[in-house]
Structure 1
């Protein structure tokens, strides 16, 4: 009887080398291949350096990849230290649910480590809201014109060629397209934020940016654009106290800081608008009432942009200008007709590339209605409260019945939902945002930030999560310009 031998499996899995670190202040508790270690340093930055040095040396000594998992105050993050001295992103985990057969039994679930969120504070929730409209038809494609058979009679051949011209087919040239000598060698810069950015700066390794950082870069690029011709954005809601003024100030700051000069915040409110109270005051007390008599002078060929400085208030930190209303006067003493608004608008369009209107609450005022006529992008500001959101939704519905331009503005609107109450949650704000599905184009939620409640409105004063949220809101607005 012959003996049966079993060949060793050629698919034996290599052991996974792993280091886990829990960072707390200036110390870290490590589990190095299952063995506990403690690292301490004078600063949090030095702790980071020691962790990376330990892992890189371990990978080099083992001649194999070492998986690093860190838990600190920024969240969870993962990297792979290679034996070649390079750092890599972990390979994405395949979606087993998408590839498993429908009748396959579900695998038992075990504890999993949360996805890495180390490099940036959470970005705002930007919800693209599907419009209730049919999908656009695909664009027709141009095809190469087929050559008629050579044995056709001249008259028939001409008829075939004429039919091809009517069909929009391109004539055949018989020449293959030439490859361009210009090679696009642009590469995405390495990580600049969080742990990845720290590793890039400390070691010189080109660590790729995280998904959160790439998303933020996309938002910055969106708000940094310059459009041909002036663009006007109106922040609206017929209810008072819903955040129109702070939304105006924050969005204006986002576009001015990233896109450069030529950005105006205009307080188009004849019922005690407070934009002037909550922004930096220039070396004068001028308001829109002072600018109105000077419009013809400012529109003359000899006028210069510096002449406008006596009427607007420059924000030295946030890089935009403010055209104030006068909250100390009764509305009856600062009425602006539609002709007055047109003259003021002509000045604003001449000297500024972007104009943000803080609209006020009187939707029947001539200046409010004329503002809508000149608007390119509508922004509805609301808190995460039902009555505020209902007021915004009713306004959008009313605009759809006003005229075609207003209806287009309403369908393309961006809704900014503020978590204005400290005891509220972003989930509450998200529920309000989701409620605008089918009414507006997109909705963005903004987390609660104490710096936005009372006092001067400055972009630098808010926290990083809040700045990222306003940046996401700005990118949503830019998509409509």
Structure 2
């Protein structure tokens, strides 16, 4: 089965470089490894690929390698069993060679050699217990994948078409020895570049590991580890995520809660979920309430004090509601039923300035009016757009219109729409009574909606139905394992946009 480049993890970053002076190196995660000498360019290629095979055997999975040599550059996929797949190869433009000096008929040697035996390529050492990765075992076709076109030589006299061994040896003996080039100490390192692959912790592989038989993780566990690594990053400067859909009941608030919980849990970064509804939102209803009743309006009223250089970070706790299990804070919207205050664009600026002083991640819930001043100003501050939708056609149509509105505005808004992450949730009360064919139809509808958004946004993630998302305060640990895994994938897709 042939792999595609998108199926192969990009970690670690591997390069194989061969230079005009017949020196070569393989660079793994920034650390250089010397390639054994070869008599020809192809032998150097083989020796370099043998080192990459050893790396693939260490990781026990295929790896991607960027290749560069005097004849071209491209990308290969290298498997632990020595199989090599070509992803791309761009040959360098052929250079016209200078005409060779004429050889007289009298200079032709009388002895003739029909064939010259090839020199056996050198063997590259591998780890003990691994299959021997030798240059001879490397398929030479993928690098380069196609012959490089060169200038055809001019006609040669029939009397000089063959060269005798004596003449060839005499010419080789007369040629001056090329001085062996010394490599710079900057081009190598004694540090081990490949990360230590931790044993499996999940499934039957994890069970065997706990029983004392070390097992490598499955592809699914490796993918989960990669998502965890992605959401655990710290980025320079604050990041703002806007969760939008102009239709109510599209799962905006659960999406805000789950993204906040996962990013706060794994990254450890100070995270706040902000209910940016123009009047009264529901984020406060689905999260824990603190020991006070303050909202975004109170924070805005105290903004001068909160932005003062003499104010310490703990003062923000007077205005937000901490989620004790999921480690993020909530800034509620105004919940005064008798009030008629609508948040303005200027107030969004003030609140955002305060929050980005105290938090690295700001995740904004939103109302249903894309024309509202606070909604539009929220978009101005947004780094990553998230569009949640339930598997119901009117919610999906509202999500499409929301993206279309942003795209039509051009500039920053259009960039957000094109790089948005759409999260399709199967969360609906109807699921509780669904069985058999009805459940299959619901899943098929979710897939249809996900496929429909795929060509227009950066990523689409599906979330399975989970009763813990339907009513009451939402907590990460209350979700089923499959739902937790899906939300982790969603958070990783969002974090890739930072």
User: Shared fold by TM > 0.5?
Assistant: yes
**How many Å separate the matches in 2 of 1:276 and 1:437?**
32
Which residue of 266, 273, 278 maps to 2:274? 266
The CA deviation at 1:187 is 1.4
Write the deviation string for residues 391-429 of structure 1: whole angstroms up to 9, x where unpaired.
Answer: 111111111121300000000000000102313433321
Q: 2-side partners of 1:427 and 1:190: how far apart?
A: 36
Q: In structure 1, what is the Cα distance between the partners aligned to 2:295 and 2:458?
A: 34
**Any conservation in 2 of the 1:252–1:263 contact (CA below 8 Å)?**
yes
Q: For residue 475 of structure 2, what is the aligned residue in structure 1? A: 458
Contact 1:249 1:265 in 2 (8 A): yes
Which one is further off, 404-413 or 428-437? 428-437
- Residues 155-170 of structure 1: matches in 2 within 5 Å? none
C-alpha deviation, 1:340, in angstroms: 1.2
**Residue pairs, 1:36-435, within 5 angstroms:** 176-177=183-184, 178-202=187-211, 204-329=212-337, 333-421=340-428, 422=431, 423=434, 424=439, 425-435=442-452
**C-alpha contact (below 8 Å) 2:279/2:340 kept by paired residues:** no
For 1:357, what is the secondary structure of its paired residue?
strand
Deviation for aligned residue 1:289: 1.1
- TM-score computed with the length of structure 2 as normaliser: 0.60
Structure of greater relative contact order (alpha carbons < 8 Å, 6+ residues apart):
1
Question: 1:103 corresponds to which residue?
Answer: none
Q: Give the Cα–Cα distance (whole angstroms) in 2 for the partners of residues 409 and 430 of structure 1.
A: 23
* 1:479 matched residue in structure 2: 496
Q: Tell me, yes or no, if the aligned pair for 2:242 and 2:384 is still in contact at 8 Å.
A: yes
Per-residue CA distance 1:126-176 (angstroms, 9 max, x = gap): xxxxxxxxxxxx9999x9xxxxxxxxxxxxxxxxxxxxxxxxxxxxxx763
**Residues in 1 aligned to 2:90 and 2:270: alpha-carbon distance in whole angstroms:** 37
Q: What CA distance in whole angstroms lies between the structure 1 residues aligned with 2:183 and 2:378? A: 53
Distance 1:479 1:333 in 2: 39
Question: Could you tell me how far apart the structure 2 residues matched to 1:140 and 1:392 are?
Answer: 45
Q: Which runs of 5+ in 1 are unaligned?
A: 1-90, 93-137, 144-173
Contact 1:257 1:319 in 2 (8 A): yes
Displacement after TM superposition at 1:438 (Å) = 2.5
Any conservation in 1 of the 2:258–2:476 contact (CA below 8 Å)? yes
Is the contact made by 1:279 and 1:457 (CA closer than 8 Å) also made in structure 2? Answer: yes
| Distance in 1 (alpha carbons) for counterparts of 2:226 and 2:218 | 12
- The separation in 1 between residues aligned to 2:393 and 2:497, in whole angstroms, is 26
In 1, the alpha carbon distance for the partners of 2:341 and 2:483 equals 35
Q: What's 1:439 paired with? A: 456
Instruction: Give 1:185 deviation, angstroms.
Output: 4.7
Q: Residue 295 of structure 1 contacts residue 344 of structure 1 at CA under 8 Å; is this kept in 2?
A: yes
| TM, length-normalised to structure 1 | 0.63
Q: What is the distance in 1 between the residues matched to 2:336 and 2:294?
A: 13
**1:225 counterpart SS class:** coil
2-structure distance, mates of 1:334, 1:276: 18
Moved more, 471-480 or 204-213: 204-213
Shift of 1:328: 4.1
- Return the alpha-carbon distance in structure 1 between the equivalents of residues 244 and 403 of structure 2: 10
CA distance in structure 2 between the aligned counterparts of 1:429 and 1:271, rounded to whole angstroms: 31
Where in structure 1 do 4 or more consecutive aligned residues deviate above 6 Å? 138-141
Q: Over aligned residues, Cα RMSD in angstroms?
A: 2.3
In 1, the alpha carbon distance for the partners of 2:91 and 2:254 equals 45
